[in-house]
């Protein structure tokens, strides 16, 4: 048995993969390190931008120094950079003992067993295209009210700047019954909110073709997919699932059938969508090969808002992509303003190996990228601020996730629109994992302060186990 630690560098998929790495290691008899230095350090990497790659190099550098004192310590590099670089990276960073790609997690225990016995360095980065495997990680969500569930892996888009199709391979879809079954089991163990995961989650196809497409679905529409049917199936088959989210949808698959599903299934299908747009300029969208125009993005969102009034929209934006002029960037700002995004993840364009955009050049100077990014953030801060302020005085349903990190006497959770809500002086109530109603009393910079409504407080007080405050006192005595 070895002790291990996992450090995660990437997106939600990467986080979910870390949960699965932990699961296969636990099943093989290893344990997450509780204190001291682990025998095995796993770095679950990302390669979406160059910075992510630099972070990995510096992390391996630091570990290599430790390894000189403790030669039996093993360094495992997993994730997208492992997939992208394979042996090349191992040659450059010889402190690495093992490298595994995102599709090779099941093979990790065997590879690790060899390495622990002093076997030679090994690299395993093979896509499971013919027989895709979808692992689950029940251990990771035990006692949590929220969980990720994978619906598909890989990406068939070819956005010219993006390395993901290269690091995650072609799209492979999980059986719809297996998805529903996993969610059912999660809900039985106490999970209340599930986020469906996929690189373009709404291009989902049902491999067994079991799902019946909604009447709104146009079978001739090349952008139509079985995703709306999957969402309907999940919410029908698992009535005790309170909330369903998904990330990240591609705008071209935000079809009438998915909009109809939002209309029919809100608020269990939450009133929030993260819909990456990347740019507000049609010229840029074309160079990025995003396969939609600005007007289409705006139009589809308008229809979604008509179907689900008040739905919030967040997005991803790349600034300083090849050839981006001031005018193109102004178009991005005007789009964000027009849509009123209430969450903007902005990134400076970072050229990636193997991507088509490499040939287009990286011609926007670094200081221009920085300036554009700060202007984008200033706008997004204003929009978030206005949005949060407008919620003061309203009532919101909050799924309480647990104590706030900064102030554990407060509890915190999310509204159906994805705002973070803190609930003060609630640590003596058994609120965790419950849906409560709060009145919003204050807007912070990126979150809200809400007080329990009287009905919610009464309900919580009658449900709160009497032992809890006592247990706290006991802890104080003990310390
Ligand atoms: N599959 C998701 C996004 C995956 S990557 C989607 O298509 O929506 C997350 C975000 O990273 C992207 O939305 C994009 O904004 C950003 N990104 C991807 N490649 C990048 C690059 N080369 N430089 C800068 N940002 C990039
Ligand atoms: Fe990358 Fe585009 Fe695929 Fe998203 S849709 S993962 S940005 S290629
Ligand atoms: Fe995610 Fe980074 Fe890979 S964003 S898919 S971990 S390149």
So where are the chain's domains? 3-127, 146-390, 395-462
Candidate from 79, 161, 171, 345 with most ligand 3 atoms within 8 A of CB, to mutate: 79
Q: For residue 349, what are the contacts with CB-CB under 8 A and spacing of at least 6?
A: 161, 318, 319, 320, 321, 322, 324, 362, 364, 369
Is the CB of residue 8 below 6 angstroms from any atom belonging to ligand 1? no
Q: Please name every residue paired with 413 in a beta bridge, in sequence order, or none if there are none.
A: 400, 421
Q: d(Cα 33, Cα 156) in Å, to the nearest integer?
A: 38
Residue 135: how many other CB atoms lie within 10 Å? 14
Cα 287 to ligand 3 centroid, rounded to whole Å: 22
Is the CB of residue 23 below 6 angstroms from any atom belonging to ligand 1? no
Closest-CA residue, ligand 2 atom 4, reads: 199
Q: Please name every residue paired with 315 in a beta bridge, in sequence order, or none if there are none.
A: 344
Read off φ and ψ for residue 277, nearest 5 degrees: -110, -30
- To the question of domain 3-127 being in CATH 3.40.50.1970, the answer is no
Read off φ and ψ for residue 340, nearest 5 degrees: 75, 50
Supply the pLDDT for residue 472: 28
Supply the pLDDT for residue 467: 36
Is the CB of residue 371 below 6 angstroms from any atom belonging to ligand 1? no
Read off φ and ψ for residue 31, nearest 5 degrees: -135, 145
Pocket around ligand 3 at a 6 A CB cut-off: 10-11, 13-14, 46-48, 79-80, 164, 167-168
Candidate from 200, 291, 349 with most ligand 2 atoms within 8 A of CB, to mutate: 200
Token readout for 235 is 């919410």
Q: d(Cα 352, Cα 463) in Å, to the nearest integer?
A: 54
Q: Which CATH number fits domain 146-390: 3.80.30.20, 2.30.110.10, 3.90.79.10, 3.30.2310.20?
A: 3.80.30.20
Q: d(Cα 173, Cα 203) in Å, to the nearest integer?
A: 9
The two beta strands, 395-403 and 411-415, are antiparallel
Is the CB of residue 349 below 6 angstroms from any atom belonging to ligand 1? yes
- CATH number for the domain formed by residue range(s) 395-462: 2.40.50.140
Supply the pLDDT for residue 129: 93
* Closest ligand (CA of 373): 1
Cα–chain-centroid distance for residue 20?
15
For residue 248, cis peptide bond before it (omega within 30 degrees of 0): yes
Candidate from 6, 9, 14, 127 with most ligand 3 atoms within 8 A of CB, to mutate: 14
Cα 395 to ligand 2 centroid, rounded to whole Å: 37
Candidate from 164, 171, 276, 345 with most ligand 3 atoms within 8 A of CB, to mutate: 164
The pLDDT profile of the chain, 479 residues, written as one tens digit per residue, is 899 999 999 999 999 999 999 999 999 999 999 999 999 999 999 999 998 888 888 999 999 999 999 999 999 999 999 999 999 999 999 999 999 999 999 999 999 999 999 999 999 999 999 999 998 888 777 788 999 999 999 999 999 999 999 999 999 999 999 999 999 999 999 999 999 999 999 999 999 999 988 888 888 888 999 999 999 999 999 999 999 999 999 999 999 999 999 999 999 999 999 999 999 999 999 999 999 999 999 999 999 999 999 999 999 999 999 999 999 999 999 999 999 999 999 999 999 999 999 999 999 999 999 999 999 999 999 999 999 999 999 999 999 998 888 788 889 999 999 999 999 877 777 888 899 999 999 999 999 999 999 888 888 888 755 333 323 222 222 22
295: closest CA among 333, 264, 251?
251
Closest-CA residue, ligand 2 atom 5, reads: 157
Supply the pLDDT for residue 266: 96
The answer to whether 433 touches 400, Cβ cutoff 8 Å, is: yes
Q: d(Cα 101, Cα 86) in Å, to the nearest integer?
A: 8
Cα 157 to ligand 2 centroid, rounded to whole Å: 6
Q: For residue 173, what are the contacts with CB-CB under 8 A and spacing of at least 6?
A: 132, 151, 152, 204, 205, 206, 207
Q: d(Cα 103, Cα 79) in Å, to the nearest integer?
A: 9
Is the CB of residue 332 below 6 angstroms from any atom belonging to ligand 1? no
CA-to-CA separations, 436 to 371, 396, 423, 439, in angstroms, rounded? 42, 8, 10, 10
* Closest ligand (CA of 46): 3
Cα 165 to ligand 2 centroid, rounded to whole Å: 7
Supply the pLDDT for residue 464: 58
Is the CB of residue 247 below 6 angstroms from any atom belonging to ligand 1? no
């Amino acid at each position: 048995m070895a002790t291990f630690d996992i450090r995660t560098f990437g997106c939600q998929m990467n986080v979910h993969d870390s949960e699965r790495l932990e699961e296969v290691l636990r099943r093989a008899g290893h344990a997450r390190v509780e204190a001291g230095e682990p025998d095995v350090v796993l770095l679950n990497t990302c390669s979406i931008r160059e910075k992510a790659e630099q972070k990995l190099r510096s992390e391996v550098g630091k570990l290599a120094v430790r390894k000189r004192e403790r030669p039996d310590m093993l360094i495992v590099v997993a994730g997208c950079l492992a997939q992208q670089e394979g042996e090349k990276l191992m040659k450059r960073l010889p402190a690495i003992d093992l490298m595994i790609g995102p599709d090779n997690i099941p093979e990790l225990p065997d590879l690790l067993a060899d390495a622990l016995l002093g076997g030679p360095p090994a690299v395993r980065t093979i896509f499971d295209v013919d027989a895709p495997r979808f692992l689950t990680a029940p251990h990771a969500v035990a006692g949590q009210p929220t969980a990720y569930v994978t619906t598909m892996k890989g990406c068939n888009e070819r956005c010219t700047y993006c390395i993901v199709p290269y690091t995650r391979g072609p799209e492979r879809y999980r059986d719809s019954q297996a998805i529903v079954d996993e969610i059912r089991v999660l809900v039985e163990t106490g999970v209340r909110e599930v986020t469906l995961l996929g690189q373009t989650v709404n291009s989902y196809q049902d491999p067994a073709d079991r799902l019946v497409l909604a009447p709104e679905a146009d079978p001739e529409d090349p952008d139509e997919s079985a995703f709306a049917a999957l969402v309907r199936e999940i919410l029908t088959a698992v009535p005790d699932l309170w909330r369903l989210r998904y990330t990240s949808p591609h705008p071209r698959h935000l079809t009438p059938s998915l909009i109809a599903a939002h209309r029919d299934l809100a608020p269990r299908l939450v009133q929030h969508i993260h819909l990456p747009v990347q740019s507000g300029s049609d010229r840029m969208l074309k160079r990025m090969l995003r396969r939609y125009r600005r007007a289409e993005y705006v139009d589809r969102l308008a229809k979604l808002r008509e179907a689900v009034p008040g739905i919030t929209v967040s997005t991803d934006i790349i600034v300083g992509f090849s050839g981006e002029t001031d005018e193109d960037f102004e178009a991005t700002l005007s789009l964000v303003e027009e849509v009123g995004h209430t969450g903007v993840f902005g990134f400076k364009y970072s050229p990636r190996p193997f991507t088509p955009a490499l040939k287009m050049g990286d011609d926007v100077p670094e200081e221009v990228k920085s300036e554009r990014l700060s202007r984008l953030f200033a706008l997004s801060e204003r929009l978030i601020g206005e949005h949060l302020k407008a919620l003061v005085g309203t009532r919101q349903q909050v799924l309480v996730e647990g104590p706030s990190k900064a102030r554990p006497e407060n509890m915190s959770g999310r509204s159906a629109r994805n705002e973070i809500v803190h609930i003060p002086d609630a640590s003596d109530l058994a609120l965790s994992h419950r849906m409560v109603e709060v009145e919003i009393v204050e807007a912070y910079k990126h979150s809200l302060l809400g007080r329990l409504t009287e009905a919610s407080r009464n309900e919580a007080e009658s449900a709160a186990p009497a032992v809890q405050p006592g247990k706290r006192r006991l802890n104080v005595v003990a310390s």
